[in-house]
Structure 1
Amino acid sequence: MARYVLQLAFDGDPRRLAARPAHREHLRRLKEAGRLVSAGPWADDSGALHVYEVSGESELREILREDPYTAVDGYEIVLLKEWTPIM
């Protein structure tokens, strides 16, 4: 398994806000399945940071394809990078 950090940027599109409950449910299921370590928006709601534990980037890309925010073009990927935490 590998850890990936994903940083997202949001614009003001109201479709993203409408999709937020489904997006958060998607994240809840990933957390329960052990694929999401942590996730949350910046305090100003300009974006978010997610940490995933997945088999590789292709699995993470599949997770993103299934995210309700993707269907409404609700984010831009700022950073998607494998991460090696030491603590």
Structure 2
Amino acid sequence: MARYALHLSFDGDPRRLAARPAHREHLRRLKEEGRLVSAGPWADDSGALHVYEVADEAELREILRRDPYTAVDAYEIVLLKEWTPIM
């Protein structure tokens, strides 16, 4: 398994807020499955940071493809990078 950090940027499109409940349900399922370590928005709601534990980047891209936020083009990926925590 590999850990990935994902930094998202939001643009203020109201479709994102409409999709938020489904997006959070998607994240909840991923957390229960052990594929999401942590996720949350920046304090100013300009974006979010997610940390995933998945087999590889292809699996993470598939997770993003199924995210309700993706369907409404609610974010831009600022950074998607494999991360090696030391503690």
TM band (smaller chain) = over 0.9
**What's the offset of the Cα at 1:46?**
0.1
The 5-angstrom pairing of residues 4-83 of structure 1 reads 4-83=4-83
- C-alpha root-mean-square deviation of aligned residues, in Å? 0.2
* Percent of aligned positions that are identical: 90
**What's the offset of the Cα at 1:82?**
0.1
TM-score when scaled to structure 1? 1.00
CA distance in 1, matches of 2:40, 2:12: 17
Structure 1: gaps (5+ residues)? none
SS in 1 for 2:78: strand
TM-score when scaled to structure 2? 1.00
Task: Give 1:32's aligned amino acid.
Answer: E
**What's the offset of the Cα at 1:47?**
0.1
CA distance in 2, matches of 1:13, 1:37: 27
List 4+ stretches of structure 1 deviating above 3 A: none
Structure 2: gaps (5+ residues)? none
CA distance in 2, matches of 1:53, 1:8: 17
Task: Give 2:64's aligned amino acid.
Answer: L
SS in 2 for 1:85: coil
